[in-house]
Structure 1
């Protein structure tokens, strides 16, 4: 009881007044309030100085129960499903990395041909993880059946 009295006396902020006004707008849209009652309550909401002033404006509307009075349990986070593109056992990263390497080689070749001279073969650096993926692919190949 004391906590509620302290809460009612606390100063309300602009965000609190906006939240109440939005809930009143929803009640108007749902036909729960007529236009004159909505106008009266919105004026009181924007004039409210404390939470106690705001509390009575929503008391008779369904779906606007304050959190501290709600009897519904808060949502518990469920375990998120595993993304489809996540690497699964037995799935090789080699084809994707090889594709990236080939795109880099095409970019290098086009830039070299466009300038009329062969540039430093920088896609060779991209080849390093491709080789690692190829080695892992063949190393894991024997373990897939187990």
Structure 2
């Protein structure tokens, strides 16, 4: 603290009261001691008067300040769960898109098989298979998540 005879500001008094709050929470002060010291802190005029109120308390250990890098709007949305909710709402739409694509590519494959009369390699499996596996895993995950939260499936 600065020199004991200098006048203290409201911010200085508030800082002492915050330190007294922490000491009360830690069990270092009784409620009566805290009330007495807090009242004297609010009435203190100089740094010397404030220093006497916390002289028998351990000095607070400064905590390292952790700063996070600024996140992009997309990253913030993912962390806030915005995409999870959007996926949940659009699950039927995703399955409809998959089914439409499956019908289309299987139809193209069948037309080419019928046109040539030759059984060709079933390439639509590589279009709709991985996509279907991902959608199925996501659907099962969503249902389990709802069950754990106690929500009924939509």
TM-score range, shorter chain: 0.3 to 0.5
Q: Which of 1 and 2 has greater Rg?
A: 2
Scaled by the length of structure 2, the TM-score of the pair is: 0.38
* TM-score of the superposed pair, with normalisation by structure 1: 0.40
Structure ranking higher in helix proportion: 2
